[in-house]
Amino acid sequence: GMLVAANVEVDRSTACTIVEGFGKIPVSSLDGDDEYDDDDDEYDDDDDDFESSLETGYGLDFDEPDTLLPRAPVVTVMGHVDHGKTSLLDAIRQTAVTDGEAGGITQHIGAYQVNSAGNTFTFIDTPGHAAFSDMRSRGANITDIVILVVAADDSVKEQTEDSIRCARDAGVPIVVAINKCDLETADPSKVKTELTQYEILTEDLGGDVLVEEISAKTQAGIPQLLEKVRMQADLMDLKANPSRDAVGVVVEAKLEKGLGTVATVLVQKGTLKVGDAFIAGEASGKVRALLGDDGKTRFDSAAPSMPIKVVGFTGVPAAGDLFIVAEDEQLAKELADNRQRLAREASSTSYQSALMSNVADLIANGLEGRKVEKEMSVIIKADVQGSAEALARALSELTLEDDESQVVVKVLLSEVGDVTKNDVSVASVKDETSVIAFNVAANMAAMDEARTAGVDIQYFNIIYDAIESVESRMQEVLSPTP
């Protein structure tokens, strides 16, 4: 058995569906009691209508606007090799440390937070576009702002161009840092002029791209650069709901002696607390400890935009994996096990490559102006592989929309065989997910479980009937009848 993506050539919407599905399955908001999350203008695009989630029980993930509070911008430094990305990250960290904050020896954890002039900034300290695109290819768009570093004694180079393209594709605004201005050969205006060829018109040339001339070496201009980043962030009105279960992204993970897997997680919304159960990619666990970037300071919790080291993993997640707080450890473990099975079974790269090329677009497009996306989920069991695939493909391509909202179908699982208790359990994780039995039966245990869990098993022997039934369900999700 396998997920649809494991054995079917997936198209864009399917790939997105799967990724989003992953991001949602275990969210404890399925209970719908304390969960107000999401918003309409941020990149985590699982927005929905909370009221209707209560009515339909579809576990919609939504944050009421009045639950949102300002959060620090998440910044990635990009640019050509040797133009000074690493030096800039170091300089920023040092400036901040000498700013008065408790310094101490910092460890490389993949991300850090600094305070400057009363503002907090989160930096991803793996510079370069490789890290950025790797993350994005896994569906994680954690960067709010890109600092594009260009050396003043050089020119716009290949990786400068790549970085510009990357940021643009992701819809992430750029702040330009013209570095090495301490050098005699520095010619910042030449660089700015060159940038105009890439449609980057800096403020001093009448454009709206903020720019600062700096020297990572002498630290000249660093506070001013941070001020520009803050201005850019203010324009973006970055917010998140801190009073919900946490959702974040794994920035880095490694095995550490005595601690097992330790991962740096960037919390995107909610507050992560010691004791929370979670799933992250194919790993799961329970937060045993939260450590700061010195690897020692313990925290009880981590708020939005805060990078934190999480101890308590079973398994090793990958950078870019979504990190989601789950209802309990057991559920998290089951889901992680399922994903492992999936990964083993994933015959090839078609799944990965579909994600790579398509998720990026989703994220870019998800940044603004989207309709409220509602969803329903299905689990498909069929007598033969061909039918399972055909149904999965057909159903995942269905969309229905009106002026405000759009309904999509998420195929959580598509495999050959009778409906089992496990299928029903997976369905029950997301409230009222339908199980579609195509030319197959459900065994007794499954039927019992379905009754107890209130899961709907629907039987079909004609593909068209199955599609029609899902379509009418979608209609119900789009505009619930009172």
Q: Which residue, 110 or 281, has its beta carbon nearer to ligand GDP?
A: 110
Token pair 């330790």 is at which residue?
Answer: 262
Beta strands 283-291 and 399-401 are: unpaired
Residue 184 CB, nearest distance to ligand GDP (Å)? 10
CB 335 within 8 A of CB 326: yes
Residue 116 CB, nearest distance to ligand GDP (Å)? 18
Cα–Cα distance between 316 and 324 in angstroms, integer?
Answer: 15
Q: Which residue, 111 or 407, has its beta carbon nearer to ligand GDP?
A: 111
Task: Let me know the angle formed at the C-alpha of 255 by 249 and 256, rounded to the nearest 5 degrees.
Answer: 115
Task: Return residues touching ligand GDP (CB under 6 A).
Answer: 79, 81-87, 127, 179-180, 182-183, 215-217
Output the DSSP codes for 239-276. Answer: EE--SSB-EEEEEEEEEETTTEEEEEEEEEESBEETT-
Residue 76 CB, nearest distance to ligand GDP (Å)? 13
Residue 229 CB, nearest distance to ligand GDP (Å)? 18
Strands (E), 8-107: 69-70, 74-79
Q: Which residue, 216 or 355, has its beta carbon nearer to ligand GDP?
A: 216
Side chain identity at 95, as an amino acid letter?
Answer: T
Residue 149 CB, nearest distance to ligand GDP (Å)? 6
Q: Which residue, 214 or 283, has its beta carbon nearer to ligand GDP?
A: 214
In angstroms, the Cα distances linking 128 to 36, 85, 124, 133 are: 35, 8, 10, 9
Residue 84 CB, nearest distance to ligand GDP (Å)? 3
**Dihedral (CA of 39, 43, 324, 275) sign:** negative
Q: Which residue, 225 or 240, has its beta carbon nearer to ligand GDP?
A: 225
Residue 129 CB, nearest distance to ligand GDP (Å)? 11
Q: Which residue, 96 or 440, has its beta carbon nearer to ligand GDP?
A: 96
Residue 43 CB, nearest distance to ligand GDP (Å)? 26
Residue 89 CB, nearest distance to ligand GDP (Å)? 8
Which positions ≥6 away from 213 have C-beta within 8 Å?
152, 178, 181, 188, 221
Token pair 């700015």 is at which residue?
Answer: 192
Q: Which residue, 157 or 341, has its beta carbon nearer to ligand GDP?
A: 157
Residue 252 CB, nearest distance to ligand GDP (Å)? 17
DSSP H helices in 260-347:
329-345
Q: How far apart are the first and last CA of the chain?
A: 38
Q: Which residue, 82 or 402, has its beta carbon nearer to ligand GDP?
A: 82
CB 229 within 8 A of CB 121: yes
Residue 214 CB, nearest distance to ligand GDP (Å)? 7
For residue 471, the surrounding DSSP H or E stretch is helix 463-478
Q: Would you state the structure tokens that stand for residue 127, as one six-digit string? A: 């510079």
Q: Which residue, 183 or 394, has its beta carbon nearer to ligand GDP?
A: 183
CB 199 within 8 A of CB 233: no
* Phi and psi angles of residue 253, each rounded to the nearest 5 degrees, phi first: -145, 140
Q: Which residue, 83 or 192, has its beta carbon nearer to ligand GDP?
A: 83
Cβ burial, residue 469 (10 Å; 0-12/13-18/19+) = middle
Residue 218 CB, nearest distance to ligand GDP (Å)? 7
Residue 64 CB, nearest distance to ligand GDP (Å)? 42
Cα–Cα distance between 191 and 207 in angstroms, integer?
Answer: 15
Q: Which residue, 177 or 311, has its beta carbon nearer to ligand GDP?
A: 177
Q: Which residue, 163 or 396, has its beta carbon nearer to ligand GDP?
A: 163
Which positions ≥6 away from 357 have C-beta within 8 Å?
none
Which positions ≥6 away from 470 have C-beta within 8 Å?
376, 378, 395, 398, 409, 434, 436
Strand, helix or coil for residue 78:
strand
Q: Which residue, 42 or 125, has its beta carbon nearer to ligand GDP?
A: 125
